[in-house]
Amino acid sequence: MSDVLAALTAGIRTEPLDDSSADASGAAARWFVPGRIEVLGKHTDYAGGRSLLAAVDVGHTITATPREDRVLEVRSEGADGPVRIDLGEDARSAAQREVQADGHWGGYVRTVADRLEKNFPGQLRGADVTVTSTLPLAAGMSSSSALVVGLALALIDLSGIAADPAFTREITTTEQLGEYFGTIENGQSFGTLAGDRGVGTFGGSGDHTAMLCGQRDALVQYSFCPVRHERTIDLGPELTFVVAVSGVEAEKTGSARDHYNRVSLAVAEILRRWREDTGRADASLADAVASGPATAQRLRALVADDDYLAGRFEQFLTESERIIPAASVALEDGDLAEFGRLVDESQAGAEDGLRNQVPETVSLQRLARGLGAQAASAFGAGFGGSVWALVPTNDAQDFAVRWLDAYRAEHPERARAATSLARPGGAARRLAG
């Protein structure tokens, strides 16, 4: 087993389990992968920017039991019917590709299987896989990325892929593993590990990094492209996140994918204009911004003809370069008033710059602040999903009830709205048994 997986499993197993575990004895690989709260960092990761993240105490549990054949059969309690993939057949056949139809959860299963088979040919072992979950689906807590991470971890573990030289050459830290899992989802290559189709969304590795690198009772600040840890901020027991699910599903598949991709493709267009104008080859928008003292003004001039690109650039620059570092310091110093003010500014950037908010998430954020939350923000892909509110722990249950009542009074059509409490619960981990 690689040092990466060993680090993830340290202190979790009740007894050692090496790469020979997936043999005729039928031993299973069982992993818990948390959801995440993106405290700050709205659409910044794939642009090389910063995010402030928490891995929460709810998530998916993925159990993979080896089979004698090379069939992968995955069942989820939250989805209709199993997904069955014959790994011995042509992975590009039309019949196999049917499960990647827009909106079908099996597309994520197929994506993980395809990528692992492509990068580590013939090593992927057949398995019966079950997925159980305490994580709300399509609610902005990244249930889809948690599925990708969980399936990949279980299948890598079960198949002994972490011992492959191609794996150990490219992936030597947990951060690199998170970045690789991000490329499974977005289809990009990772070093010599060639990319594949992905799931059709142009996202980054912020979610995957949070799930693998989150810390219990703390928030973590990372920058991306490549992934770099910048700060860990303790979150004392006196504060709790209340998460309100708006009732508007934050899907990244089907028709919603075009809205999501517009936000990320805008970054690609800004970077294209920059490269064309300067002749530079900066890999990310953050690299371009960091290339000189007058860069921001030059980039503003390059996007001045396009109102959306101009707003998108300002949102990225403000969120990544100013708001997140200042908010982290404020939280470390216990200055919750300043932290809340900066989070309000981030929310405004999502509404005016990203333009990825819906009336329901705008209402939830405003109502939370009006009810006394220390800070509140929409998070995730946008176009629906959830809003977090940071409140005193001793008031969290009561606040959740008052917040939901106020929201339902404004949006009675959102009967599926709900609230839950969450604390930073730590990273993905292998479970015994």
Give SS3 for 160.
Answer: coil
Mean pLDDT, residues 133-158 taken together:
88
Q: Which residue has the higher pLDDT, 140 or 387?
A: 387
- Work out the end-to-end distance of the chain between its first and last CA atoms, rounded to an integer number of angstroms: 18
Same CATH topology for 3-232+426-430 and 238-422? no
Instruction: Assess whether pLDDT exceeds 90 at residue 135.
Output: no
At the fourth CATH level, which superfamily is domain 238-422? GHMP kinase, C-terminal domain (3.30.70.890)
Asked whether residue 93 carries a pLDDT value surpassing 80, the answer given is no
353/346 Cα distance (integer angstroms):
10
In this predicted structure, what is the pLDDT of residue 256? 55
**Nearest to 212, CA basis, from 153, 272, 133:** 153
The residues facing 129 across adjacent strands are: 64, 74
Closest by CA to 157, choosing from 302, 31, 293, is: 31
Q: ∠140-43-226 over CA atoms, to 5°?
A: 115
State the average pLDDT over residues 373-379: 97
* 167 within 8 A of 19, measured Cβ to Cβ: no
Residue 101 has pLDDT above 50, yes or no: no
Q: What are phi and psi of 38, to 5 degrees?
A: -85, 95
Residues 40-62, mean pLDDT to the nearest whole number:
96
Over the stretch 228-257, which tens digit does the pLDDT of each residue have? 999 999 999 999 999 999 999 865 555 556
Give residue limits of the domains in the chain: 3-232+426-430, 238-422
CA dihedral 63, 182, 311, 378 (to 10 degrees): 20
At residue 340, the 3 state secondary structure works out as: helix
Q: What is the mean pLDDT of residues 254-273?
A: 83
Query: Which CATH number applies to 3-232+426-430: 3.40.190.150, 1.10.1740.10, 3.30.230.10, 2.40.30.200?
Result: 3.30.230.10
Residue 398 CA to residue 177 CA, distance in Å, equals 39
Residue 15 has pLDDT above 60, yes or no: no
Q: What is the value of pTM for the model shown? A: 0.91
Q: Which residues contact 122 (CB under 8 A, 6 or more apart)?
A: none
* The predicted structure's pLDDT at residue 96: 46
Residues contacting residue 99 through CB under 8 Å, at least 6 positions apart? 83, 85, 106, 107, 109, 110
Q: State the pLDDT confidence band at 20, using cuts at 50, 70 and 90.
A: very low
Alpha helices in 305-427 (DSSP H): 307-317, 324-332, 336-349, 359-370, 396-410
Q: Let me know if 127 is exposed, middle or buried by CB neighbors in 10 A (0-12, 13-18, 19+).
A: buried
